[in-house]
């Protein structure tokens, strides 16, 4: 049987003439789903629910958890006051995904964190974030270059991978091109995490937990690259799915 992968959902709000009148949509980009299917996994998008028992039931259906991109994390999740005025947050999503990470780490269930997902993994382990790279690290490169291009496939950075990392072994190379669509970044590293990739300016672009079966976070959006722009990223999704023992 194919490994079942739960993909976390975002809160998508429709705006019309400045007035919100349609129900919030719980969903995620098809690229996450496509990447898991190409890796021979069976994905489903897990909705936001306020009932912990229902969430636990949904969690138990999954063999692995893909923490997707999207909203900024509320600064209070890493015990910091809000300093950047334009954060777009989802407290319900923060709470739900923190709970799922806690369960997954306890159960040693494979986790792949992408963009926000990597940041959430870091915060769940006691780490902190830079709320805005341009404000907090003005010497850093532009990490919104793919947003400015309006192209998820725009390869803006060359990542330098740590030689002995699981990520480097999966990709089979010391460098890889990637897109960049984030304005926040890891500041203080969470408990047990090791840095496995950085951009030329030193921004953390990948982390992993060496003592777990498979816990990897990447700051970029490889799900938008693996089909065409940089196929080597497909190896990460394949390794994620293959790390799951199914019968």
pLDDT digits (tens, 9 = 90+) for 20-69: 788 889 999 999 999 999 999 999 999 999 999 999 999 999 999 999 99
Catalytic residue, from 97, 205, 208, 223: name it. Answer: 223
Indicate if 187 belongs to the active site. Answer: no
Pairing of strands 194-198, 185-186: unpaired
Beta bridge partners of 10: 27
Indicate if 223 belongs to the active site. Answer: yes
> How far apart are alpha carbons 159 and 86 in whole angstroms?
28
Indicate if 221 belongs to the active site. Answer: yes
Whether 17 has a pLDDT exceeding 70, the answer reads no
> How far apart are alpha carbons 118 and 125 in whole angstroms?
11
Mean pLDDT of 146-150: 96
Catalytic residue, from 221, 226, 230, 238: name it. Answer: 221
Distances in whole angstroms, Cα of residue 67 to Cα of each of 49, 64, 71, 148, 205 = 16, 10, 12, 24, 15
Catalytic residue, from 115, 205, 226, 238: name it. Answer: 115
Residue 13, pLDDT score: 81
Confidence of residue 247 (pLDDT cuts 50, 70, 90): very low
> How far apart are alpha carbons 14 and 12 in whole angstroms?
7
Residue 183, pLDDT score: 96
pLDDT digits (tens, 9 = 90+) for 157-205: 999 999 999 999 999 999 999 999 999 999 999 999 999 999 999 999 9
Mean pLDDT of the chain: 95
């Amino acid at each position: 049987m194919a490994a079942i992968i739960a993909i976390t959902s975002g809160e998508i709000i429709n705006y019309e003439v400045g007035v919100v009148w349609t129900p919030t949509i719980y969903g995620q980009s098809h690229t996450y789903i496509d990447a898991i299917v190409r890796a021979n996994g069976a994905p489903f998008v897990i909705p936001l629910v306020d009932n912990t028992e229902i969430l636990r039931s949904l969690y138990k259906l999954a063999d692995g958890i893909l923490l997707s991109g999207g909203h900024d994390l509320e600064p209070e999740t890493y015990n910091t006051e809000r300093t950047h005025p334009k954060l777009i947050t989802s407290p319900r999503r923060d709470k739900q995904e923190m709970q799922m990470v806690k369960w997954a780490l306890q159960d040693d269930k494979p986790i792949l964190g992408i963009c926000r997902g990597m940041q959430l993994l870091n915060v769940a382990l006691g780490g902190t974030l830079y709320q805005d790279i341009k404000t907090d690290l003005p010497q850093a490169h532009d990490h919104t270059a793919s947003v400015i291009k309006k192209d998820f496939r725009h390869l803006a950075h060359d990542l330098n991978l740590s030689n002995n990392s699981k990520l480097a072994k999966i990709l089979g190379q010391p460098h890889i091109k990637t897109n960049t669509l984030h304005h926040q970044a890891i500041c203080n590293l969470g408990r047990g995490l090791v840095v496995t990739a950085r951009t030329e300016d030193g921004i953390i672009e990948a982390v992993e937990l060496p003592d777990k079966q498979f816990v990897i976070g990447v700051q970029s959006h490889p799900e938008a690259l693996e089909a065409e722009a940089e196929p080597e990223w497909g190896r990460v999704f394949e390794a994620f799915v293959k790390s799951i023992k199914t019968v």
